[in-house]
A and B are shown apart, each in its own frame.
Chain A
């Protein structure tokens, strides 16, 4: 089951945090900036309150008609910059020229320890304004001096700042996202390497996983190697036990069978003969099955097919001195067999054995390689000058457990083993007519990916 991708998870995890962090940063920066601007405005307004306070102190006019501040923004109408001096009851005594004709909103709330109070309001021209009011006394007469500044300029600046911040931080974010993507990819590269190493083992190009891996995945590589080793051991043990079982069972069966056939014809010997034959059949069939099942899990094996064929030809030549086995040794570029050496011996050996049984004196063995778009094959052809098979006979022989001539020695299971093994390895076996006159057995087997150069 595939469950997402580590690279993607890593990327989204880091990118998600990045987006949150950058958004937070943008918010914080803007907030700090707007506070700084607001603080600056407040200072300006307080400065003007101080100026007004001293002007009020200096003024002799109870209506403070001579009071003014220098800042020209307080002189133009509807700028959002106003000042107003109110009596304790809230009636305006004097206002800035900018406030003439408009109602300056009044503040509410408590004065702080320095006798100030502050608020953000809206004037009747629609400007956002910051108002600061100070409570004071003039010759025992309580006064409230209010100075108002336009906030919209500051807000515009904040807006501008926010826009720029977002652009800059967005760019930073994109750069970081690209980087984290690259980092995820780099970090996962050893996993890809490990994958390829395992594939090589499966392809039979390597026995174990080799190469240096980072600390995090080195244990994985070691575990896989350990698994391969224990797998091999288990198979080895299974094979040994199968061999022991075979040895243990076959001798008693042989004894029973011989005893019965020596006793000539009586009911007991007939029963023992037929039953021991059945036992023998079962033992052979199931031992072969067990062996095939044990070997189908073998990974990472390959065998030098030329060496195997040389060995088999040598042995069969010694056992069958009446026939001449011509083996045309292929050049070193012939690929290796992808699988167990013993299995190749089993397949080619049984075919060679059949050829020897039927041959009148001549056997030919050749090896070639075959390339298809999907796979490479090793083709072993074994042909004899025996009586040969018709197409129908060939079909029949390739069915399970069929023997054409019961007199020719052998259990008749030879071809079954070959067929089963061929299936295990995904190869094919064809029986054709040979130019020598007999059977041409064509064994097509998967080749190891790289044909190693023989030393």
Chain B
């Protein structure tokens, strides 16, 4: 899962980035509206954390531009302005959720998880595929009730595939959604991680669709 964080306060930006990275997300950051808008417009993100008060271009304008251009990724608005009229304005501009500053990082994470899950069409924090069960909130994976240990990269990969289960996910898509901008993208790494993941999971959980990519089948 790749998240874009647009927040002009460098400290807060870093804190959110750290918390999200720790939560298993690939994170890109922007410090002003224009840069943020450009990134959101050109890169595929699974969710965006967007501050309303931004230099160059305010958050609501960024959001409206994206929606006008047909970008539908879930957006969590971050703002100090917590009047209802601001909320209404934000939601009407196309935001999916709203978080008033100052907030607890756990709440940001919870809301972001819910947004990503909802966007993928999952109702609960647990996604299952056959014997494999992923607890999105805790970042834990069990097979037939037995916990298995995954590295953060493996967890990201499995999580993305499970969120999009039933769909064939290409290597490019995986690279785009699992790594941030600055990551050295070598398509072989995906194959390496898929290989390692397959060893820890039962057979036939991750299918290879020749020439197209990978797939976790619907139950």
Contacts and interface: CB of A to CB of B under 8 A. Distances in A.
Contact of B97 (A252, A311, A319, A346): A319
Contact of A280 (B9, B91, B96, B102): B102
A454 interface: no
Contacts of B97: 319
B53 A250 contact: no
A315 B104 CA distance: 23
B80 A345 contact: no
A345 B104 CA distance: 25
Interface string A278-315: 00100000000000000000000000000000011011
Contacts of B146: none
Nearest to B118: A321
B167 interface: no
Interface in B13-37: 15, 18-19
A442 B71 CA distance: 40
Interface stretch (B82-90, B127-135, B158-166, B168-176): B82-90
A346 B101 contact: no
B87 A349 contact: yes
Contacts of B84: 312, 342, 345-346, 349-350
A65 interface: no
B81 A243 contact: yes
B45 interface: no
B83 A345 contact: yes
B91 A246 contact: no
A441 to B, nearest CB: 15
Contact of A318 (B12, B18, B82, B96): B96
B85 A342 contact: yes
A311 B88 CA distance: 7
Interface string A247-283: 1111111110111011000000000000010001000
A262 B15 contact: yes
A261 B104 CA distance: 9
Contacts of B91: 314-315, 318-319
B25 to A, nearest CB: 16
Contacts of A319: 91, 97-98
A214 interface: no
Interface residues of A, number: 32
Given A250-B101, A258-B15, A311-B88, A409 B83 contact: no
Chain A contact surface mostly: helix
Nearest to B8: A251
A255 B12 contact: yes
A254 B88 contact: no
B83 A255 contact: no
Interface in B59-105: 79-85, 87-88, 91-92, 96-98, 100-105
Contacts of B19: 258, 262
B11 interface: yes
Nearest to B108: A258
Contact of A251 (B12, B85, B88, B105): B12
Nearest to A284: B82
A345 B82 CA distance: 12
A341 B107 CA distance: 30
A250 B102 contact: yes
Contact of B80 (A247, A312, A314): A247
Nearest to B98: A319
Contact of B9 (A255, A257, A350): A255
Contacts of A345: 83-85, 88
Contact of A315 (B12, B80, B87, B100): B87
Contacts of A280: 102
Nearest to B91: A315
A346 B15 contact: no
A283 to B, nearest CB: 9
A251 B87 contact: no
Given A254-B12, A255-B9, A262-B15, A342 B83 contact: yes
Interface string B191-215: 0000000000000000000000000
Nearest to B18: A262
A243 B52 CA distance: 12
- Most B-side CB within 10 Å, residue of A252, A258, A319, A350: A258
Interface in A318-359: 318-319, 321, 341-342, 345-346, 349-350
Interface in A344-378: 345-346, 349-350
Nearest to B110: A409
Contact of A255 (B11, B98, B100): B11
Nearest to A345: B84
Contacts of B98: 319
Contacts of A311: 88
A247 B79 CA distance: 7
A257 B102 contact: yes
A254 B103 contact: yes
Contacts of B80: 243, 246-251
Interface of A: 243, 246-255, 257-259, 261-262, 276, 280, 311-312, 314-315, 318-319, 321, 341-342, 345-346, 349-350, 409
8 contacts: A247-B79, A250-B80, A251-B12, A252-B9, A253-B101, A255-B12, A311-B88, A345-B88
Given A247-B53, A250-B101, 20 more contacts: A246-B80, A247-B80, A249-B80, A250-B100, A251-B80, A251-B102, A255-B9, A258-B15, A258-B19, A258-B102, A262-B15, A262-B18, A276-B102, A311-B88, A314-B91, A318-B91, A342-B83, A345-B83, A346-B84, A349-B84
* 5 closest residue pairs by CB, A with B: A254-B102, A349-B84, A250-B80, A345-B84, A247-B80
